[in-house]
Amino acid sequence: MAQKDPEKPNAYFTGLGTKKRIVLYDTLINDHKTEELVAVLAHEVGHYKMKHTTQGIIISLMQTGLMLFILSLFIRQNSPLSQAICQALGGFSGWEVKQSFYLGVLAFGMLYSPLSLLIGLFMNMLSRKNEFAADRYAGRNYDPFYLQEALKKLSVNNLSNLRPHPVYVFFYYSHPTLLQRLKGLDKIKDLF
């Protein structure tokens, strides 16, 4: 399936059951050789074979369930957190019972940000691990040279930073850097 996007070339695997698809943007098809496209397809097939989409859905459902459970702890009637906020505000008589829901939402909002950051870090680490695994799959089942060439072209077309700071990568990158991916694919080439 080709998708039109005038901006960036891209490819991804999506779907469940009978609705699975590998999507190649038309800009990717126009800018790459056939061998490179096959290598990109092999990478996306790697995501499928290793069930990365299913894994992501399950983790997202668990994350949502955790967030809703934590929210329920904050908004229940007379929760200790709401009472603590009321006392910090001066403990107005009767006001804390009526407002405990709103105070619970406020407390949850304050604590959600650091929790969301930790979950985001975990999800980015998992995503980078999955990208390396899909690269290895493509490298073992097709010539890793062509995936390297495709990744280089994608990097140029997307104006990727070749040497981002490692701390920035740790916090914000869902994919390994180009140089990390090329190095990983070099190891596979050495095996063959």
pLDDT single digits (tens) 85-135 = 667 766 655 554 556 677 778 878 888 888 889 999 999 999 999 999 999
* pLDDT > 50? residue 176: yes
Distance CA(39)–CA(27), nearest Å, equals 16
Residue with tokens 């709103």: 102
Average confidence (pLDDT) over 146-171? 93
| pTM for the model | 0.82
Cβ contacts of 77 within 8 Å, gap of 6 or more: 97, 100
Distance CA(124)–CA(55), nearest Å, equals 13
Q: Which strand (E) or helix (H) includes residue 13?
A: strand 11-14
**What whole-number percentage of the chain has pLDDT above 70?**
84
The DSSP bridge partners found for residue 14 are: 21
Amino acid in the structure at residue 17: G
The residues carrying an active-site annotation are 44, 135
* pLDDT > 60? residue 4: no
Of 13-22, 70-79, 176-185, which range is least confident? 70-79
Paired tokens of 46: 């790697």
Distance CA(115)–CA(125), nearest Å, equals 16
- The pLDDT tens digits of the residues spanning 18-48 come to 888 999 898 899 889 999 999 999 999 999 9
- Residue pair 77/97 in contact by the 8 Å Cβ criterion: yes
Please, what is the average pLDDT of the chain?
86
